[in-house]
Amino acid sequence: MTNLNLFNALKLRYEGEIASAKANLAIYMQNTVGIGEHADIVTTLDTEVQKLCDASDKLDVLMGFLSEYSGDNLNYDGGSFNSTE
């Protein structure tokens, strides 16, 4: 597995975590009846916001690292990283 595969896997992981947290937040905010098993809704929402922040921060750090690490040898096409070599 190349470094590009690893970077792309991390990017997809973080994007998936972001999408999951956003979906959970939307459900919790729109349908509080569906979360009856959660005694403390605010804490549950806070947990999802933390997940969203963590994944967003990780994605930002990864993208920043890649721009420093790759120089001119790496292209990002909006979906994945590709080598120019």
Residue 62 has φ and ψ, to the nearest 5°, of: -60, -50
Residue 29 has pLDDT above 60, yes or no: yes
The pLDDT of residue 85 is 56
Q: How many residues does the chain have?
A: 85
Predicted TM-score (pTM) of the model is 0.77
**CA 69 – CA 3 distance, rounded (Å):** 11
Give which of 52, 31, 51 is closest to 41, Cα–Cα.
Answer: 31
How many CB atoms are located within 10 Å of the residue 17 CB?
Answer: 17
**CA 49 – CA 18 distance, rounded (Å):** 10
Q: How confident is the model at residue 28 (pLDDT cuts 50, 70, 90)?
A: confident
Residue 77 CA to chain centroid, in angstroms? Answer: 18
